[in-house]
Amino acid sequence: MEYHHKLLLTWIYGAFAIIHLVQAQPDQQGFISLDCGLSPTESPYTDPLTGLTFSSDADFIQSGKRGEVGNDESYTYKQFKDLRYFPDGVRNCYNLTVNKGINYLIRAGFSYGNYDGLNISPRFHMHIGPNMWTSLVVESESYREIIYMSKSNLLQICLVKTGETIPMISTLELRPLRNDSYMTQLGPLNLIFRRTYTSDDLGYIRYPDDVLDRIWDRYDWIETNVNTTLNVTSSNPFAVPDAVSRFGISPRNSSRPLFFFASPKEKSGKMNVYFHFAEIQVLKENDTREFDILLDGTVIRKSYTPKVLQSETIYNILPQKCIGSCDLDLVQTQRSTLPPLVNAIETFDVLEFPYAETNQNDVDAMKNIQAIYGLDMISWQGDPCVPEVLKWEGLKCSYTNKSISPRIISLDLSSRGLIGVITHAFRNLTELQKLDLSNNSLTGGVPEYLANMKSLSIINLSWNDLMDPLPKTFHDREKNGLKLTINGNPKLCTDASCKKNNQKYVLPVITSTASVLIIVAVLILILVFKKKRSTQVQHELPSRMSINRQTKRFTYSEVVALTDNFERILGEGGFGVVYHGSLNGTQPIAVKLLSQSSVQGYKEFKAEVELLLRVHHVNLVSLVGYCDEEGHLALLYEYAPNGDLKQHLSGERGGSPLKWSSRLKIVIETAQGLEYLHMGCKPPIVHRDVKTTNILLDGHFLAKLADFGLSRSFPIGGETHVSTAVAGTPGYLDPEYYRTNRLNEKSDVYSFGIVLLETITSQPVIQQTRERSHIAAWVGYMLTKGDIENVVDPRLNREYEPTSVWKALEIALSCVNPSSEKRPNMSQVTNELKECLTLENSRQGGRPDMGSKSSVELSMSFTTEVTPSAR
């Protein structure tokens, strides 16, 4: 059971990048502390209560006005004296430079103080990037706090006007945290409360007692207070301060549980609770303190014993859905002689941030355009496209769905007083379809790159001061549908008679003809040389290059034609959107187009192409071709008309449920594909994302394992594992790999075991409403009750050989063993599953009693510990 705690404390992805920040926290390394509205002439200053250094916010926001609450000095901290309010615009945003992929504690403070004399409490929303964080009604002094993993190096904290009142803010603070402490992978954590339990009324505990500058509320709960004068250490990533851990409470009635409750603040209703424990009482020789930790009836740790004078943190991996409120119970075990004890508790809403930020290249381009032309528009704050109701003035964006980054497709900067040449920053808006720069004072020539932007079909440059000949490329594009408007530019020449730089003559036709002949001759020589060189290279390059030539490289225009301009969508994933296409008008294909916001990106795109070029197996999806052209990335696969295994198990495809023999055939074929990767490839390959949505079914229901963007090869030299940042899908991710970052083929075996459990049960991998949320824990729980009938998919109507099903369950459970050493390899799994199919095929009618269990004992222990989250 210690594995549960260890698992949670090994969330080390990105942690090493900030360990030096945590170690240096007493020096406020990495802190951002803004006193909003503070005059720059008074900045910076040291807060007398905390010793924190605060600065003016003037350099972090381009809008708003300064205000003060007056001479009333009843505020707790000096930062609440000043404020910034925002009478103009709907969305006003702070721009903070941070480290991408790092957890930050973000805290905003508010104190209205009737600064405007209206005595009306401001009501407004706060956003982080494009997503709503919280809604506020500011009355007395208060804070809002969230723990959030930054998605880029720019963090935008926005105040959004929602009614007649004016948004305002007093203080904005950022504190870097270690990524292996608070769990933000399933959503940002919005603080509900953070309490240390003591009867001492000495105000808050925060910096410098807490080097992370969390604010701990001293709370006097109606129980028995305990404390110690001894030091309590904290060696885990949470770094709970000694000033917190030296206090705690036990129940007044030692025979009853220690009870708390917490109510979600946000509508998601999902909560994470962090219990902080340390044994701070002197125990007698025969004393034992042991208790179960329950969250709304779900045991998140059994038989827990706090460590003596050492802080330890226990929390739920998966968010708990709370209706109204959640009960937090510490229940004494039968063998314990002492009641439960707790030192502090933190509770958080787990928020859903559904909107992907606008494509980063588009954002960077717009920032450059804004800076080059000095554009000062109040709406140009926050994310350019999202949410759509707050998009920047003059923009139109394409929206596929919330999880895919929008692209800017239209930019209208007409009548904006633009001065200077047409900047090359526009060329980085690669999906731009319409550009309007009319009615400005732009000078210089019309850059040729505008004609080469494939998506750009409407350009309005009228009524500027442009000059020089118009590049011929524009005339060629106009023949292919480009609409170019350039009237009102008297110095701009548009036909062949233009004279550049006041030249008095035109080159003789004979010179032009000679130039053309020379160019043609040079081109012929180049082609001959390239052909000769190509023949030579064929003999020199290794066999892998010959494999490359077997797979066609397509141009983006060919991809557009093959998909009929991306008319039919087959599905969407982390890579992007998958479209239906047709090769030669007869062969159906699937075209996976890389989204600019893809979680995988170019590195994984390249990895998948290279892997599929060198592996060939009937149960691995075949690569027809690929496209890598000017930012357009696409993979062309063989088409699987029968969708994926997940769709059939969930009933999404309709029709009759898959028979047991059909399910066995599919998982056997998938196992054969994995066996080939693990044992037939040199070096071996680990897929890293085995799941039912990546098992495709062709027209004959032949299983094809797909999506190799996360796959990794082992280094040459016989190593048994490779150390790598954890990647995968929540629920399928091997907990040992997650804990150690040591990847080997047994990580795929674990994921396959989850797939096998899904195939048997047709149950979701994670479902909060079950007795055990994770499928492996739930199956183990049901089997200990002897409840086989409620494990197997009821849609099978018991039309299967019971021994075959039991054997398949045993295989699945051996695959998901917490210890990789105790898992079988894929050859063993394949052979065992074939025996299951043989048993099923030999069934001679009748339904044997499902109460007769297999002779193999199921001795594994199942808990929610088997489900870490992916990064």
List pLDDT tens digits, range 210-219. Answer: 999 999 998 8
Q: How is residue 661 annotated by DSSP?
A: H
Which residue did the predictor score with more confidence, 543 or 85?
Answer: 85
Indicate the pTM of the whole model: 0.57
Q: In this predicted structure, what is the pLDDT of residue 532?
A: 45
Q: In this predicted structure, what is the pLDDT of residue 551?
A: 57
Question: Is it the case that residue 553 has pLDDT exceeding 70?
Answer: yes
Question: Is it the case that residue 510 has pLDDT exceeding 60?
Answer: no
Helices (H), 230-320: 242-245
Closest CA to 61 of 168, 152, 176: 168
Catalytic residue among 213, 362, 644, 689: 689
Identify the three-state secondary structure at position 128: strand
Render pLDDT for 714-755 as a digit per residue (tens, 0 to 9): 654 444 545 555 677 888 988 888 777 788 899 999 999 999
Q: In this predicted structure, what is the pLDDT of residue 322?
A: 86
Report the C-alpha gap between 651 and 654 in whole angstroms: 5
Q: In this predicted structure, what is the pLDDT of residue 8?
A: 31
Q: Which residue do the tokens 């933000």 mark?
A: 184
User: What DSSP line would sit under 106-126, residue for residue?
Assistant: EEEEE--TTTTSS----EEEE
Residues 741 and 723: beta-carbon distance below 8 Å:
yes
Identify the three-state secondary structure at position 371: helix
What Rg, from alpha-carbon coordinates, does the chain have? 32
Q: Which long-range contacts (CB under 8 A, 24 or more apart) does 538-541 make?
A: none
- In the structure, what pLDDT confidence band is assigned to residue 537 with cuts at 50, 70 and 90? very low
Q: In this predicted structure, what is the pLDDT of residue 681?
A: 85
The torsion angle over the Cα atoms of residues 349, 354, 360 and 361, rounded to 10 degrees, is 180
Helices and strands in the chain, H and E counts: 17, 46
Render pLDDT for 717-728 as a digit per residue (tens, 0 to 9): 444 545 555 677
Identify the three-state secondary structure at position 482: coil
Strands 344-350 and 632-638: unpaired
Among the residue ranges 8-22, 203-217, 597-611, the one predicted with the least confidence is: 8-22
Question: Is it the case that residue 673 has pLDDT exceeding 80?
Answer: yes
Average pLDDT over residues 23-42: 82
Q: How is residue 680 annotated by DSSP?
A: I
Which residue did the predictor score with more confidence, 64 or 651?
Answer: 64
- In the structure, what pLDDT confidence band is assigned to residue 851 with cuts at 50, 70 and 90? very low
Question: Is it the case that residue 656 has pLDDT exceeding 90?
Answer: no
Report the C-alpha gap between 604 and 521 in whole angstroms: 42
Strands 154-161 and 45-46: unpaired
Among the residue ranges 102-111, 575-584, 589-598, the one predicted with the least confidence is: 589-598
Q: Which two tokens stand for residue 758?
A: 């899904």
Q: In this predicted structure, what is the pLDDT of residue 516?
A: 47
Report the C-alpha gap between 155 and 104 in whole angstroms: 10
Helices (H), 502-566: 509-540, 543-550, 556-562
User: What DSSP line would sit under 776-795, residue for residue?
Assistant: HHHHHHHHHTT--TTTS-GG
Strands 82-85 and 168-169: antiparallel
Q: Which two tokens stand for residue 46?
A: 């040291």
- In the structure, what pLDDT confidence band is assigned to residue 266 with cuts at 50, 70 and 90? confident
- In the structure, what pLDDT confidence band is assigned to residue 772 with cuts at 50, 70 and 90? confident
Maximal C-alpha separation, the chain: 110
Residues 755 and 766: beta-carbon distance below 8 Å:
no
- In the structure, what pLDDT confidence band is assigned to residue 846 with cuts at 50, 70 and 90? very low
Report the C-alpha gap between 183 and 317 in whole angstroms: 8
Render pLDDT for 117-162 as a digit per residue (tens, 0 to 9): 899 999 999 999 999 999 999 988 899 999 999 988 899 999 999 9
Q: In this predicted structure, what is the pLDDT of residue 400?
A: 85
- Compute φ and ψ for 633, nearest 5 degrees: -120, 130
Task: Give me the percent of the chain exceeding a pLDDT of 70.
Answer: 83
Q: Which two tokens stand for residue 70?
A: 């007056």
Q: In this predicted structure, what is the pLDDT of residue 395?
A: 95
Render pLDDT for 270-296 as a digit per residue (tens, 0 to 9): 999 999 999 999 999 999 999 999 998
Report the C-alpha gap between 9 and 3 in whole angstroms: 10
Average pLDDT over residues 566-593: 83
Report the C-alpha gap between 740 and 22 in whole angstroms: 22
- In the structure, what pLDDT confidence band is assigned to residue 859 with cuts at 50, 70 and 90? very low
Question: Is it the case that residue 845 has pLDDT exceeding 60?
Answer: no
The 3-state secondary structure of 339-367, one letter per residue? CCCECEEEEEEECCCCCCCCCHHHHHHHH
Neighbours of 467 (CB within 10 A): 15
Q: Binding site annotation covers 785?
A: no
Active site residue 787: no
Triad 236, 242, 248: Cα angle to 5°: 100
Closest CA to 421 of 449, 384, 397: 449
The mean predicted confidence, pLDDT, of the chain is 83
Question: Is it the case that residue 73 has pLDDT exceeding 70?
Answer: no
Q: How is residue 560 annotated by DSSP?
A: H
Question: Is it the case that residue 852 has pLDDT exceeding 60?
Answer: no
- Compute φ and ψ for 750, nearest 5 degrees: -60, -50
At position 799, the amino acid (one-letter code) is E
At position 566, the amino acid (one-letter code) is F
The 3-state secondary structure of 457-477, one letter per residue? CEEECCCCCCEEECCHHHHHH
Closest CA to 271 of 326, 312, 314, 313: 326
Q: Which range has highest mean pLDDT (237-251, 495-509, 838-852)?
A: 237-251
Q: Which two tokens stand for residue 118?
A: 């209206």
Residues 256 and 318: beta-carbon distance below 8 Å:
no
- In the structure, what pLDDT confidence band is assigned to residue 526 with cuts at 50, 70 and 90? low
